[in-house]
Amino acid sequence: MQSFTDWVGTEGVVLGPLIVGVAAIVLAIVVALLVHRAAKAVLRRTAGRLENSWGNTVLAEASRPAKWITIAVAISLAQRAAPLDAWSTALWRQASGFIMPALFGWLAIALVRAVQQIVETRTDISVDDNLQARRRRTRVGILGRIVVVLILFLTLCMMLISIPGVRNVGVTLMASAGLAGLAVGAAAQPALKNLIAGVQMAFTEPVRIDDVVIIAGEWGRIEDIRLTYVVVKVWDERRLVVPISKFLEEPFQNWTRQSSQLLGSAFLYVDPGADVGRLRAKLEAVVTAHPLWDRRFFNLQVTDLKPEAMEVRALVTAADASRAFDLRCAVREAMMRFVADEMPESLVRHRIISATTDGAQPKDAVEIV
């Protein structure tokens, strides 16, 4: 029977290096956490002195992945100093080669998201003249998603390369990415077409975030642009999801391509004998007193004439599409109210002329309003 002294001696040979290794790893984790906290405090104080808040944004996004990277690096250094056997060392190297690419990929994605947040914070699209802000936000949003996809792809390849059994798979995946894309393209042509269209849209910019468009017969604003589709917020709160290739292959209306300012029209139909001068004077009074008019232009013209009605078009300008729509409705309502109250003789009438059966002159015309 083995004595206690013999057991302690035998197990001590085995447990001694293990206890030292665990103690070294625990100490490394504690030191890493202290170093991360100290560095975070210094960086936060430095970012607080800056006039812009971009430093705090980057620090907030990169703090968690940086903490785990610091811990992983500290454990790696402790593992080299710890007296581990060959099996433990090989296991740690395998785990380190699998974990480190994932952590650095996480950090890279966090930095990309920080850049997107900084651009969104510094580009206010709620102001009237927001063309440049919408352009930057759209481009950064699309390119940011493309970079995230590339980071995920490279991270996966690096993780596969670290595993000896599947190392050739990772190398082949990176080396033949173009050929694989062509092979997959035959089976996923619509998805790849929309993905390529998303990259193209980031540079050609046929639409931007908050653009006012008419597509598929719907009026709405561009709410979100993804890699393969665009979300259009329709005027009645519905969401229209459109493949991104539609904006490159089919015609659509973009009301805010160069500027948000618009020229709106309101059509009136009055009697051919109506006094256009009075209508023009009333339009001037209505438009100049309305707060939605941007004081650029207004006009009233006769655009068409038919036997029973005269088409009169009122043109007004506004700062954006929403104000232009409301102003057109207000002008149309005020002008028709004026015609009904002050110029009732100008309301459209349908005339019926009856003739006698004996060929005599026609009787008086009968007017039906």
- pLDDT for the residue numbered 13: 47
The confidence band for 11, taking pLDDT boundaries of 50, 70 and 90, is very low
Who has greater pLDDT, 33 or 124?
33
Nearest to 25 by CA among 104, 126, 95: 95
Each residue of 287-333: pLDDT tens digit? 999 999 999 999 999 999 888 899 999 999 998 888 888 999 999 99
The confidence band for 364, taking pLDDT boundaries of 50, 70 and 90, is very low
Give how far Cα 245 sits from Cα of 198, 223, 250, 352, Å: 8, 17, 8, 55
**CB 300 within 8 Å of CB 312:** yes
Nearest to 230 by CA among 212, 252, 247: 247
**CB 244 within 8 Å of CB 229:** yes
Give the full edge-to-edge strand order of the sheet including 212-215.
239-243, 229-234, 218-225, 212-215, 253-254
**CB 89 within 8 Å of CB 81:** no
The Cβ of residue 33 has, within 10 Å, a number of other Cβ atoms equal to 14
Each residue of 33-73: pLDDT tens digit? 888 888 888 877 776 666 556 777 788 888 888 888 888 88
pTM here is 0.56
- pLDDT for the residue numbered 26: 81
Alpha carbons 104 and 156: distance in angstroms, whole number = 12
Each residue of 249-283: pLDDT tens digit? 888 888 887 777 888 899 999 998 899 999 999 99
Domains of the chain in start order, with CATH, are: 4-122 (no CATH), 262-351 (3.30.70.100)
Backbone angles phi, psi at 352, to 5 degrees: -120, 120
- pLDDT for the residue numbered 18: 61
Each residue of 346-357: pLDDT tens digit? 888 776 666 555
The amino acid that residue 337 corresponds to is R
Nearest to 110 by CA among 102, 122, 98: 102
Helices (H), 259-360: 276-288, 321-342
How deeply is 351 buried, as exposed, middle or buried, from its count of CB atoms within 10 A (0-12, 13-18, 19+)?
exposed
Who has greater pLDDT, 202 or 301?
301
